[in-house]
């Protein structure tokens, strides 16, 4: 319940960027299970029927997200996401929320870097009201001053709250170093100042420009047949504009490379982020890269970083490496949290492992184990309507094609040890790592990052 | 992002917040989770919850022992042992457990609370036998030596720095608990006090292990794409052969009557906007022995859950005192628990005003009571939410596991909807008159440094 306030935000690294690349797909769910349903009004949705519970989950995305917020007006998309479900048509905020609540309908919106997304989860018996409320939120939000001011002040509060959080300071430092002047250098959800200046007209223009049928992607999972779904799609999205305003995010190349930056904080444990350029989701070497990273610092308890830093030396509770997959700004990162006087030990090990991976690549055994992990854990994500709907949405947004479900494991199987070694050498560059530390680390010398 | 092996508690993790909410969300029909229950000859209870949506299974082994069962001066020992359980046995050397799970595409973790310790893996259906063999093996076969134990102790101390050392909110939370429970061991943090963690060792961990880890003190829960007939012989083969042993009764010292309100203040430079929490000592299912916990859940739903709850409607929407405000209550504990109110003032509103208004609002609720209509709506929502709980793969084993660890039965879980449905407006209005006793309360303030 505490999250009621905090949920209304998305930070730099939120679900959309991670979700799109790292999710694994199940063998049970086959390409043949997905039906592309097109409504009479031209709305298309990928559907997986699942009649085990009387629940329908709908997820959708409009491209743009916060990346189309005009300069100086950062935070529009985020404020829109937080206020379009605060009253529409005849219903004011409390009546709108009251109706959702009384009918156990969950409706939420989120503004990510690249997409404005929404989710509707309802019991089948309430689907007509649920679709009506969704449609009203998208097409006729009232933006009454009561809810807008209330939500605006909640957002400002949480924006100002995070300013002092070490983890947020690291993210902010990274944005400023890597992408100054680029849209990715700006906070996704704005600043206290930019949010204070937003007007209802700004919110309305955002909807007008960016929420339309031609940039809409939809997935549906649950207790619904294709024939039932067609009119539902019309009801949900009728009245939207046909064309969104075109936009283009230019490539964001990091402006600096290397360096060690310390953000001084009076805390017993330093939080450390190491960053370098990563690999795009559509790069042919993507699957080799996720295999290599699984071995170096991926999410199992056997990774090299986990073993070296945690198991052998007891230097940290959490350590790992991962990709961030923003379309135009892919990154490869590692993070660790270590008491201040052991930071240099942790850093030394991570750098050593980074270099070692580049020079020698994985061993045959590690490579085989990583493959069986990534292919074998494939089904673990297919456990709820919501999770399957997420996957269907990600597949569409990444242009993976319906057959991806059947082919995904073969992409991983096809990677050879030589591929992995080649990609490790190309990708892992210890010299390029920019280190950002928040804390009071002992024995760490700051080094200015080098302009690219 | 990065994994958190050996998570310490259900109560603090945001991942589990949603799950926690599920406790208030069990089914209308008593056959929702539809578990099969049987007991092995050595006294080990087994629960099977078939769920055929994905070709996967999850194994959980729960021990009826947690941080509140530690010896005086050895705080953190239960959680420390949980970490050490990944070390190795005669049959599977150190690291083999996790590496086998990973290379078979599985995921695993463990967690510790005051009342229980649990270990779990999720794997493809045909790997169930493998993880059962592994888990049964470490129930009695754990081998520890200083070489493995000492670095892990440093890992736990880093974990404490991450969770508490770097978090003023968590520091306040620890002192609030220590103030809430005058005598009962719930006053001690699960992870332990740092100076006592520092003194834990191979011997303390093994002593705890030998005292409490036994089949007759454990519950095996299998969920997923499997039948009870398939599980039975496997459970017998791996767990049924472990001899039962004498396990002590859980005897915890009890609370004396609490006769004074307490107030705890934490100021920090990492905090830039204030917040306030008030906790009232409250009965759990087990300590109440009547329908009070059910009535309190309905009360919590009405006054403090969501955007149309009493507190939010009046303090956030109508008068803008609060940016966030609400309540929470979970009756799942072996001994006493708390009913919590919290508020974060809107920007520009002082914490004093916020506290005053929160307390006045509470007085008002006590004076006017809740209405028939509010109770009916709350009960409908709670019943609906049960259907959503069935959509989650992990809800059933977690809800059932926690119930069995805290002195309840599977029948209690199945009867939950009936008992909620039976709560009357009068019940709710009666329990609220006794629960908000200042002399049994702790008020915690989290303030920016430098604010008087």
The pLDDT tens digits for A131-180 are: 999 999 999 999 999 999 999 999 999 999 888 899 999 999 999 999 99
A373 inside 8 A of chain B by CB: yes
**Cα–Cα distance, B421 to B376 (Å, whole number):** 9
Angle between helices A200-210 and A76-83 (to 10 degrees): 90
**Cα–Cα distance, A182 to A198 (Å, whole number):** 21
ipTM, interface predicted TM-score of the complex: 0.89
Task: Please give the pLDDT value at position B451.
Answer: 53
| Contacts made by residues B175-178, CB under 8 angstroms, sequence distance 24+ | B175/B264, B175/B266, B175/B444, B176/B264, B176/B277, B176/B279, B176/B442, B176/B444
Nearest neighbour of B2 by CB, restricted to A104, A165, A335: A335
**Residues 169..228 of B with a Cβ closer than 8 Å to A: which?**
none
Helix (H) or strand (E) holding A412: helix A404-413
Parallel, antiparallel, or unpaired: how do β-strands B322-329 and B337-345 relate? antiparallel
A379 inside 8 A of chain B by CB: yes
**Cα–Cα distance, B178 to B185 (Å, whole number):** 9
The pLDDT tens digits for A29-54 are: 888 899 999 999 999 999 999 998 99
CA distance B61 to chain A (A): 19
Task: Please give the pLDDT value at position B12.
Answer: 30
B347 interaction partners in chain A (CB closer than 8 Å): 153, 156-157, 160
Nearest neighbour of A2 by CB, restricted to B271, B272, B324: B324
**Cα–Cα distance, A14 to A81 (Å, whole number):** 15
Nearest alpha-carbon partner for A82 in A17, A183, A10: A10
The pLDDT tens digits for A395-448 are: 999 999 999 999 999 999 999 999 999 999 999 999 999 999 999 999 999 999
Task: Please give the pLDDT value at position A410.
Answer: 95
Nearest alpha-carbon partner for B117 in B157, B76, B153, B165: B76
List, run by run, the mean pLDDT of 10-residue segments along chain B (452 residues).
36 34 41 88 97 93 98 98 96 93 94 97 95 98 96 96 94 98 98 98 98 98 96 98 96 96 96 96 97 98 95 96 96 97 96 98 97 97 87 93 96 90 97 97 94 52
SS3 A402: coil
Task: Please give the pLDDT value at position B178.
Answer: 98
Nearest neighbour of A1 by CB, restricted to B166, B304, B381: B304
**Residue pairs between chains A and B whose CB atoms are closer than 8 Å:** 220
B107 inside 8 A of chain A by CB: yes
Task: Please give the pLDDT value at position B46.
Answer: 98
Q: Which residue of chain B is at minimal alpha-carbon distance from A157?
A: B347
Place of tokens 């006493």: B336
B339 inside 8 A of chain A by CB: no
Task: Please give the pLDDT value at position B354.
Answer: 98
A50 interaction partners in chain B (CB closer than 8 Å): 53
Residue A24 reports pLDDT greater than 90: no
Question: Best interface-test mutation with A: which of B7, B21, B97, B105 has the largest number of A CBs within 10 A?
Answer: B105
Task: Please give the pLDDT value at position A349.
Answer: 98
CA distance B246 to chain A (A): 33
Asked if the Cβ–Cβ distance from A301 to B102 is below 8 Å, we say: yes
Q: Which residue of chain B is at minimal alpha-carbon distance from A376?
A: B105
B12 inside 8 A of chain A by CB: no
**Cα–Cα distance, A183 to A279 (Å, whole number):** 20
The answer to whether the beta carbons of residues B115 and B109 sit under 8 Å apart is no
**Cα–Cα distance, B449 to A373 (Å, whole number):** 48
B449 inside 8 A of chain A by CB: no
Task: Please give the pLDDT value at position B31.
Answer: 57
**Residues contacting residue A243 through CB under 8 Å, at least 6 positions apart:** A212, A213, A214
Asked if the Cβ–Cβ distance from B158 to A1 is below 8 Å, we say: no
Nearest neighbour of A104 by CB, restricted to B271, B317, B385: B385
B422 inside 8 A of chain A by CB: no
For the question of residue B108 being annotated catalytic, the response is no
SS3 B149: helix
Residue A374 reports pLDDT greater than 70: yes
Asked if the Cβ–Cβ distance from A157 to B124 is below 8 Å, we say: no
Mean pLDDT of chain A: 91
Structure tokens, A55: 């629940």
**Residues 275..294 of B with a Cβ closer than 8 Å to A: which?**
none
Q: Which residue of chain B is at minimal alpha-carbon distance from A332?
A: B1
**Residues 19..78 of A with a Cβ closer than 8 Å to B: which?**
26-29, 50, 52-55
CA distance A242 to chain B (A): 33
Q: Which residue of chain B is at minimal alpha-carbon distance from A121?
A: B388
B159 inside 8 A of chain A by CB: yes
Structure tokens, B157: 């101390």
Task: Please give the pLDDT value at position A379.
Answer: 87
Write down the pTM of the prediction.
Answer: 0.92
What is the phi-psi region of residue B76: left when phi exceeds 0, alpha when psi lies from -120 to 50, beta otherwise? left
B388 inside 8 A of chain A by CB: yes
Nearest alpha-carbon partner for B189 in B174, B169, B205: B174
**Helical segments of A238-316, H only:** 286-297, 304-305
What is the phi-psi region of residue B221: left when phi exceeds 0, alpha when psi lies from -120 to 50, beta otherwise? beta
Asked if the Cβ–Cβ distance from A53 to B387 is below 8 Å, we say: yes
**Cα–Cα distance, B411 to B389 (Å, whole number):** 17
Place of tokens 């940290």: A316
Tell how many helices (H) and how many strands (E) occur in chain B: 17, 11
The answer to whether the beta carbons of residues B58 and B225 sit under 8 Å apart is no
B4 inside 8 A of chain A by CB: yes
Lay out the sheet containing A115-123: strands in order across. Answer: A35-38, A44-49, A216-222, A55-63, A115-123, A106-111
Nearest alpha-carbon partner for A202 in A73, A111, A63: A73
Residue B166 vs residues A169, A261, B3, B270: alpha-carbon distances, Å: 14, 19, 19, 9
Q: How many angstroms separate the first and last alpha carbons of chain A?
A: 45
B155 interaction partners in chain A (CB closer than 8 Å): 310, 314, 316-317
Question: Best interface-test mutation with B: which of A21, A126, A317 has the largest number of B CBs within 10 A?
Answer: A317
Task: Please give the pLDDT value at position B389.
Answer: 86
The pLDDT tens digits for A101-118 are: 999 999 999 999 999 999
A72: number of Cβ within 10 Å: 9
Could you tell me the maximum CA-CA distance found in chain B, to the nearest angstrom? 65
B1 interaction partners in chain A (CB closer than 8 Å): 13, 18, 320, 322, 335
CA distance B111 to chain A (A): 14
| φ/ψ of residue B442, rounded to 5 | -125, 130
CA distance A369 to chain B (A): 5
B2 interaction partners in chain A (CB closer than 8 Å): 297, 299, 318-320, 322, 335
Q: Which residue of chain A is at minimal alpha-carbon distance from B96?
A: A302
**Cα–Cα distance, A42 to B374 (Å, whole number):** 42
A324 interaction partners in chain B (CB closer than 8 Å): none
**Cα–Cα distance, A91 to A108 (Å, whole number):** 17
Q: Which residue of chain A is at minimal alpha-carbon distance from B154?
A: A314
Asked if the Cβ–Cβ distance from A98 to B308 is below 8 Å, we say: yes
From the list B70, B74, B82, B152, the catalytic residue is: B82
A271 inside 8 A of chain B by CB: yes
Task: Please give the pLDDT value at position A2.
Answer: 26
B103 inside 8 A of chain A by CB: yes
Question: Best interface-test mutation with A: which of B32, B275, B307, B394 has the largest number of A CBs within 10 A?
Answer: B307
Task: Please give the pLDDT value at position A103.
Answer: 97
The pLDDT tens digits for A213-265 are: 999 999 999 999 999 999 999 999 999 999 999 988 887 889 999 999 999 99
Helix (H) or strand (E) holding A130: helix A127-139
Asked if the Cβ–Cβ distance from A157 to B323 is below 8 Å, we say: yes
Parallel, antiparallel, or unpaired: how do β-strands A115-123 and A55-63 relate? antiparallel
A452 inside 8 A of chain B by CB: no
């Amino acid at each position: 319940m505490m999250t009621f306030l905090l949920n209304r935000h998305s930070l730099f690294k939120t679900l959309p960027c991670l979700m799109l690349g790292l999710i694994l797909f199940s063998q049970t769910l086959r390409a043949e299970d997905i039906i592309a349903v097109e409504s009479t009004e031209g709305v298309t949705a990928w559907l997986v029927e699942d009649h085990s519970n009387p629940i329908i989950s709908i997820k959708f995305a409009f491209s743009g997200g916060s990346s189309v917020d005009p300069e100086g007006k950062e935070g529009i998309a985020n404020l829109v996401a937080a206020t379009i479900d605060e009253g529409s048509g005849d219903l004011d905020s409390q009546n709108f929320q009251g109706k959702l609540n009384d009918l156990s309908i969950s409706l939420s919106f989120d503004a990510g870097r690249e997409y404005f997304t929404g989710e509707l989860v309802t019991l089948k018996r309430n689907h007509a009201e649920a679709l009506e409320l969704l449609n009203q939120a998208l097409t006729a939000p009232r933006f009454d001053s009561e809810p807008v001011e209330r939500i605006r002040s909640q957002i400002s509060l949480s924006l100002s709250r995070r300013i002092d959080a070490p983890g947020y300071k690291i993210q902010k430092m990274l944005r400023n170093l890597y992408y100054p002047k680029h849209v990715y250098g700006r906070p996704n959800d704005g600043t206290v100042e930019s949010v204070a200046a937003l007007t209802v007209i700004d919110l309305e223009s955002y909807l007008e420009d960016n929420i339309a049928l031609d940039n809409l992607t939809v997935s549906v999972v649950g207790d619904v047949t294709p024939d039932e779904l067609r009119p539902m799609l019309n009801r949900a999205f009728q009245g939207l504009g046909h064309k969104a305003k075109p936009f283009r995010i230019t490539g964001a190349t990091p402006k600096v490379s290397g360096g060690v930056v310390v953000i001084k904080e009076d805390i017993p444990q330093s939080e450390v982020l190491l960053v370098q350029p990563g690999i795009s989701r559509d790069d042919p070497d993507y699957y080799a890269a996720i295999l290599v990273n699984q071995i170096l610092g991926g999410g199992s308890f056997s990774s090299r970083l986990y073993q070296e830093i945690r198991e052998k030396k007891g230097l940290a509770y959490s350590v790992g490496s991962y990709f961030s997959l923003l379309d135009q700004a892919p990154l490869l990162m590692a993070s660790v949290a270590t008491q201040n006087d052991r930071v240099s030990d942790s850093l030394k090990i991570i750098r050593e492992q980074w270099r070692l991976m580049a020079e020698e690549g994985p061993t045959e055994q590690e490579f085989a184990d990583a493959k069986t992990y990534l292919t074998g854990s494939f089904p673990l994500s297919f456990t709820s309507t919501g999770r399957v709907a997420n996957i269907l949405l990600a597949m569409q947004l990444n242009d993976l094609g319906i057959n991806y479900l059947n082919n995904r494991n073969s992409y991983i199987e096809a990677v050879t040890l030589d591929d992995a070694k080649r990609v490790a050498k190309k990708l892992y560059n210890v010299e390029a790592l920019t280190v950002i530390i928040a804390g009071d680390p002992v024995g760490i010398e700051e080094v200015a990052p080098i302009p690219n | 992002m990065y994994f958190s092996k050996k998570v310490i508690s259900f109560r603090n993790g945001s991942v589990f917040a949603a799950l926690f909410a599920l406790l208030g969300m069990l089914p209308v029909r008593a056959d929702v989770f539809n578990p099969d229950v049987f007991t092995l000859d050595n006294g080990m209870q087994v629960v099977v919850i078939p769920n055929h949506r994905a070709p996967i299974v999850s194994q959980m082994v729960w021990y009826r022992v947690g941080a509140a069962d530690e010896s005086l001066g050895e705080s953190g020992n239960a959680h420390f042992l949980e970490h050490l359980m990944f070390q190795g046995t005669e049959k599977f050397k150190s690291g083999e457990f996790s590496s086998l799970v990973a290379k078979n595409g599985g995921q695993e973790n463990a967690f510790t609370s005051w009342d229980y310790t649990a270990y779990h893996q999720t794997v493809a259906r045909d790997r169930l036998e493998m993880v059962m063999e592994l888990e049964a093996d470490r129930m009695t076969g754990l081998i520890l030596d200083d070489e493995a134990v000492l670095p892990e102790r440093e890992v736990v101390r880093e974990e404490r720095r991450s969770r508490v050392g770097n978090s003023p909110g968590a520091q306040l939370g620890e002192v609030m608990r220590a103030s809430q429970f005058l005598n009962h061991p719930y006053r001690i943090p699960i992870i332990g006090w740092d100076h006592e963690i520092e003194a834990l060792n191979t011997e303390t961990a093994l002593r705890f292990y030998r005292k409490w880890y036994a089949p007759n003190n454990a519950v095996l829960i299998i969920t997923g794409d499997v039948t009870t007939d398939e599980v039975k012989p496997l459970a017998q083969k791996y767990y049924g052969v472990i001899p039962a042993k004498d396990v002590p009764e859980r005897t915890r010292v009890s609370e004396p009557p609490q006769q004074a309100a307490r107030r705890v203040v934490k100021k920090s430079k990492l905090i830039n906007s204030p917040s306030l929490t008030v906790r009232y000592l409250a009965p759990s299912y087990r300590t109440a022995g009547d329908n009070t916990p059910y009535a309190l859940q309905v009360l919590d739903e009405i006054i403090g859950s969501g955007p149309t709850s009493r507190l939010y409607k009046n303090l956030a929407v109508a008068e803008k005192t609060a940016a966030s405000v609400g309540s929470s209550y979970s009756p799942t504990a072996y001994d006493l628990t708390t009913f919590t109110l919290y508020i974060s003032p809107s920007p520009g509103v002082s914490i004093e005003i916020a506290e005053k208004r929160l307390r006045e609002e509470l007085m008002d609720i006590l004076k006017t009571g809740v209405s028939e209509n509010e109770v009916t709506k709350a009960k409908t929502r709670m019943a609906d939410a049960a259907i959503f709980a069935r959509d989650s793969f992990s809800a059933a084993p977690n809800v059932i596991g926690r119930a069995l660890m805290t002195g309840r039965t599977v029948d209690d879980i199945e009867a939950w909807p009936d008992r909620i449905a039976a709560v009357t407006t009068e019940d709710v209005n009666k329990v609220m008159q006794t629960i908000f006793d200042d002399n049994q309360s702790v008020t915690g303030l989290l303030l920016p440094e430098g604010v008087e």
